[in-house]
Amino acid sequence: MDAQPLAVRNQHPVQLTSLGAHARPARPLAGSDVEFSTDLAWTNLWLRPGQGQDRIELDGELLRITPRLRYGLGEGFEIGFALPFLHSGGGVLDGFVESWHDGFGLPQNERDNFDRDRFAVRVDRQTPSGLRTAWQLDQTTLAVQDAALEFAWFPVGAPRGAAVADQPFSFGLRLGVEAPLGDEDRGFGNGSFDTMVGFVAGYETERLALFAWGGHSFTKAPSIARDTGLRWRDPTMLGFGLEAAVAPSLSFLAQVEWETSLLDELDETHANRDQVLLWTGGRYAFSERSALEFSVGEDLVRSVSPDVTFAFGLRHRW
């Protein structure tokens, strides 16, 4: 399987309402080639209110499943589509995470002062009439979120599946649009068409691959947030990653991604700061065209991003 960064993103429930220029393959598919993938992210949320007149609380778990389809158009062009589904609730990971923190001497950040596996995911805004709900996520067994369509053009770089010894560098431009299929009243989307412009770059050798990606999105806050005077900030993001072969079919991956908070206008210290996440994991290729991925994501900026995310991915190319 060709080298590519992990297909992961920040699972902060507010950030999920916007299209972002997150990690994607750094080389295009060859003309008429198709790649299908399914990614699963299991996230434990824990964020107590910080300082400021507004308020955010995140306590619960998310299970997000994202089927993706990419199609090579030839001449360095390709198109991709993703339709995520979300399960949200109290979950079962609180006890495991608390035991993990105890075992390694990590702070609990008041986790053990509250009931385990509870659900409370909401943003409150101070208005002249008092504190009002500006956004909240409902519990759901399974709900569709906003669908994303992305076009990419690679003026530099051999297509996937081709030898890269003579052209190790790759560079692509990307343009995305997200359709509002998710219910904004229940927190599954923002009720508007988002757009994104960005880039992706890579450098590959026989045993090592380096990646970079980034971009800027144009988004809109849900109507419940706008009713309180709150606007989503258009997010900007930048990421770097590497993949190193450790065996013929096994590789190690690590990547870090920085992004600005959609809640930049919220007067709350646990909501309006930039977010940085570190992902480490691996990829096992059980054929030349199929691979299984696994990774763990941790927040590098304390008290702003989700506590921990376990991610799994399966991809196959025709």
pLDDT tens sequence across 8-53: 999 999 999 999 999 999 999 999 999 999 999 999 998 888 899 9
**Coil vs helix vs strand at 225:** helix
Instruction: For residue range 287-314, list pLDDT tens digits in order.
Output: 989 999 999 999 999 889 998 999 999 9
Average of per-residue pLDDT across 170-194 = 97
- Using a pLDDT cut of 90, give the percent of the chain over it: 82
Instruction: For residue range 116-165, list pLDDT tens digits in order.
Output: 678 999 999 999 999 999 999 999 999 999 999 999 999 998 776 666 66
* Threshold 0.85, pTM exceeds: yes
User: Among the listed ranges 163-167, 175-179, 209-213, which one has the minimum average pLDDT value?
Assistant: 163-167
Average of per-residue pLDDT across 183-192 = 96
Q: Is residue 21 a contact partner of residue 310, using CB atoms and an 8 Å limit? A: no
How many angstroms separate the CA atoms of 33 and 76, rounded? 12
β partners of residue 143:
86
Helix (H) or strand (E) holding 98: helix 94-103
Q: What is the pLDDT of residue 42?
A: 96
Of 143, 169, 144, the residue nearest 155 (C-alpha):
169
Q: Is residue 22 a contact partner of residue 16, using CB atoms and an 8 Å limit? A: no
Task: Give Cβ neighbours of residue 149 (< 8 Å, ≥ 6 apart).
Answer: 79, 80, 81, 176, 177, 178, 179
The amino acid at 290: S
Of 101, 136, 97, 137, the residue nearest 117 (C-alpha):
97
Q: What is the pLDDT of residue 269?
A: 94
Average pLDDT along the chain: 92
**103 burial class (0-12, 13-18, 19+ CB within 10 angstroms)?**
exposed
How distant is the alpha carbon of residue 198 from its chain centre?
15
Q: What is the pLDDT of residue 139?
A: 96
Backbone angles phi, psi at 308, to 5 degrees: -155, 145
User: Among the listed ranges 25-34, 91-100, 260-269, 299-308, which one has the minimum average pLDDT value?
Assistant: 91-100
Question: How does residue 107 score in pLDDT terms, banded at 50, 70 and 90?
Answer: low
Q: What is the pLDDT of residue 48?
A: 81
Backbone angles phi, psi at 83, to 5 degrees: -135, 95
How distant is the alpha carbon of residue 186 from its chain centre?
20
Q: What is the pLDDT of residue 115?
A: 66
How many angstroms separate the CA atoms of 210 and 251, rounded? 13
User: Among the listed ranges 48-62, 95-109, 133-147, which one has the minimum average pLDDT value?
Assistant: 95-109
